[in-house]
Amino acid sequence: MKAFRLDELEAERAANEGAYLQFLRERNMSVGLYALNAGEHDPQKPHNQDEVYFVVSGRASLTVGLETTQVARGSVVYVPAGVAHKFHHISEDLRVLVMFSPPEA
């Protein structure tokens, strides 16, 4: 078993001064914590893996392909591999668990 605490992951991510911290990598999946502060630009490009976002905190819009939805704490969104997607209009600091399958390269 591997267990994690969100506050410890956030502290590690912040200490490494990056927006993304991968904290779990297994044969068929990887999981990370993604952070964007209010007003920030999301620099993501399409990924080669399917991914699922689980919004832990914050508020923003998310565009996946041609569809846009509002996300906030508790939102879960699936993004198919190869599809352009970005968070935008980030009105509250955003913290998102990101699950990739297969693992992010």
Give 66-84 pLDDT, tens digit per residue.
999 999 999 999 999 999 9
Residue 48 has pLDDT above 90, yes or no: yes
Write out the CATH class of domain 6-101. mainly beta
Q: Which residues contact 58 (CB under 8 A, 6 or more apart)?
A: 36, 38, 72, 73, 90, 92, 93, 94, 95, 96
CA distance 1 to 16: 25
Give 20-47 pLDDT, tens digit per residue.
999 999 999 999 999 999 999 999 999 9
Q: How confident is the model at residue 105 (pLDDT cuts 50, 70, 90)?
A: confident
